[in-house]
Amino acid sequence: MKLSTYKENLIYLALWLILFIAPALSMYMRVQNSSTMAMDWSEIFHVWNLYAAYLIIFLIHNFILAPLLIYKKKKLIYFLTTICLITIFVIFQYSLRPRNFRKKMEMHRMEFMTRDLQMHGYKVEKPPHVFDRADNRPEGMNMGPDMKDRHPDMPMFIGEKNIVSSVILVLIIGMNLGVKLYFKNDQDSKEMQQLEKQNLQQQLEYLKYQINPHFFMNTLNNIHALVDIDPEKAKTTIVELSKMMRYILYEGNKPLIPIVREIQFIKNYITLMKLRYTDKVKISLNIQDPINDSGIPPLMLITFIENAFKHGVSYKQESFIIINISFIDKRLYFICSNSKKPEDNAEKEETGLPKQGGVGLANVKRRLELIYGDKFTLDIDDYTDTYNVKLDLPIA
């Protein structure tokens, strides 16, 4: 049984227990407040009989009719069967009530007449019903406004009583529908959240694995270029790459990793890239001491740095890459500025991201949106000679 169904049934059980206990509790309170009154179980059972009819109809509606509307969407069948059920209940009440009313009203009428006789100083020696007729009543005897000129076998307020019973039944059915719809909507909401969470996780995994091959493709190209030029540097590069691969394999699948490890990964990457370039490329890395026990999604910043190396370094002219990472009030501030190759100056995508960014920048922006929503700021300024990225995001 689902937890929501268990809670729903528990609510119904509590409500019906309270409803059935109420008459006995009310009778008990009346007995406690009266020295002559005793527990009248016949009156309690009479009320319970009426509640039992409500309970039977409630069970039929809860387990048979309500699912037709809420789960199977069969509106016409539901409304027709519910109307038939209410009609049967009204007919049952109409056939049952007169006898109950006659008996109860006769008792009340006899009690009223006895008290009235005693108030006028009469000694009651015969049943009060002898005085039903006006010519048999003692002078001054009052039959009461509700009893006057009414036949003793005529039920009182039959129409009103049945209307009240029908209204109560409709309210019970409405309550049942309301509770069921609440738990149904709650369950649908939880399932939708779970589905959205799964879709989000799938998208994140897709984007992450799309970034990784992109990164390795560029790195392997760098190693390939070094093999013929400087084999020793190529070996050192492979060692550095193995460190990064180990990081991606063991840390890249985690939702959050310590910032110190992400920074170390960035340092390893920059060390690898410096092996390839000459002194014409000015590389500056400024990192403030990270906040202790702070976390960040893995491989979040490397795409911007990789993009700077790929499109910001030229062998024909002096180039620069400046990276600043700071931490203020539990937020990370990342700034990456680089020079631009002449051929990349006017190339941009329709989204506003530069053409030089390719798939990597578009994916990391989408990843930021999925993880942080509107809690991050990403500004990309594409000037004629420089390219600047500013990222501000919260850290866990």
Q: Between β-strands 281-287 and 319-328, what pairing exists: parallel, antiparallel or unpaired?
A: parallel
Which one has a higher pLDDT value, 16 or 277?
A: 16
Alpha-carbon distance 69 to 71, whole Å?
Answer: 6
Superfamily of domain 210-394: Histidine kinase-like ATPase, C-terminal domain (3.30.565.10)
The domain ranges of the chain are 3-192, 210-394
Predicted pLDDT of residue 79 = 94
Has residue 28 got a pLDDT over 50?
Answer: yes
Alpha-carbon distance 300 to 366, whole Å?
Answer: 11
Distances from the Cα of 356 to the Cαs of 136, 307, 339, 340, 360, in angstroms?
A: 114, 8, 12, 9, 10
What single letter denotes the amino acid at residue 2?
Answer: K
- Mean model confidence pLDDT for the chain: 77
SS3 content of the chain, % helix, strand, coil (to 5): 65, 10, 25
Tens of pLDDT along 284-296?
999 988 766 788 8
Distances from the Cα of 78 to the Cαs of 83, 169, 236, 379, in angstroms?
A: 9, 16, 76, 57
Tens of pLDDT along 102-118?
555 556 556 656 666 66
Which one has a higher pLDDT value, 211 or 273?
A: 273
% of the chain at pLDDT higher than 70: 72
What single letter denotes the amino acid at residue 307?
Answer: N
Handedness of CA 143, 146, 149, 154 (dihedral sign): negative
Q: How many CB atoms lie within 10 A of CB 22?
A: 12
Predicted pLDDT of residue 306 = 84
Predicted pLDDT of residue 335 = 96
Q: Return the C-alpha torsion angle 298, 303, 305, 309, nearest 10.
A: 140
Tens of pLDDT along 165-204?
888 889 999 999 999 999 989 888 888 887 677 666 666 6
CA-based diameter of the chain, in Å? 134
Q: Which two tokens stand for residue 100?
A: 């109950």
**Half-sphere CA count of 204, side-chain side, radius 13 A:** 20
Has residue 140 got a pLDDT over 80?
Answer: no
DSSP secondary structure string for all residues of 348-371: B-TTSSBGGGHHHHHHHHHHHHHH
% of the chain at pLDDT higher than 90: 23
Predicted pLDDT of residue 162 = 65
Alpha-carbon distance 327 to 392, whole Å?
Answer: 10
Predicted pLDDT of residue 176 = 92
Has residue 136 got a pLDDT over 60?
Answer: no
